[in-house]
Amino acid sequence: MTPDSFNFLAGLVKARSGIVLTADKGYMLETRLGALLRRENIPGLDALAMRLRGPMAHALAAEVVEALTTNESSFFRDGRPFEHLRKLLPRLAAARPPGQAIRIWSAACSSGQEAYSVAMVAVELATQLGGRRVDILGTDISREMLDRAQDGVFTQFEVQRGLPVTMLVKHFRQEGTRWRIAPELRAMVRWQGFNLLDDARALGRFDIVFCRNVLIYFDAPTKSRVLAALAGRVATDGVVYLGGAETVLGLTDRLTPAAGERGVYEPARATARAG
Ligand SMILES: C[S@@+](CC[C@H](N)C(=O)[O-])C[C@H]1O[C@@H](n2cnc3c(N)ncnc32)[C@H](O)[C@@H]1O
Final residue before a domain boundary, out of 42, 67, 92: 67
Both 89 and 25 in a single domain? no
Q: Residues with beta carbon inside 6 Å of ligand 1?
A: 17-19, 69-73, 77, 108-110, 114, 140-142, 145, 195-197, 212-214, 217, 243
Both 49 and 163 in a single domain? no
Both 246 and 139 in a single domain? yes
CATH code of the domain covering residue 86: 3.40.50.150
Q: Is residue 75 part of a domain?
A: no
Both 158 and 265 in a single domain? yes
Our count of domains for the chain comes to: 2
Both 183 and 215 in a single domain? yes
Both 31 and 104 in a single domain? no
Per-residue pLDDT of the chain (275 residues; tens, 9 = 90+): 999 999 999 999 999 999 999 989 889 999 999 999 999 999 999 999 999 999 889 999 999 999 999 999 999 999 999 999 999 999 999 999 999 999 999 999 999 999 999 999 999 999 999 989 999 999 999 999 999 999 999 999 999 999 999 999 999 999 999 999 999 999 999 999 999 999 999 999 999 999 999 999 999 999 999 999 999 999 999 999 999 999 999 999 999 999 999 999 999 975 444 44
Q: How far apart are the first and last CA of the chain?
A: 42
Best residue among 75, 76, 141, 210 to mutate for probing ligand 1, ranked by most atoms within 8 Å of CB: 141
Both 150 and 195 in a single domain? yes
Q: Is residue 72 part of a domain?
A: no
What is the radius of gyration, based on Cα positions, of the chain?
20
Best residue among 77, 140, 192 to mutate for probing ligand 1, ranked by most atoms within 8 Å of CB: 140
The answer to whether 52 and 92 have CB atoms below 8 angstroms apart is no
Best residue among 147, 214, 225, 233 to mutate for probing ligand 1, ranked by most atoms within 8 Å of CB: 214
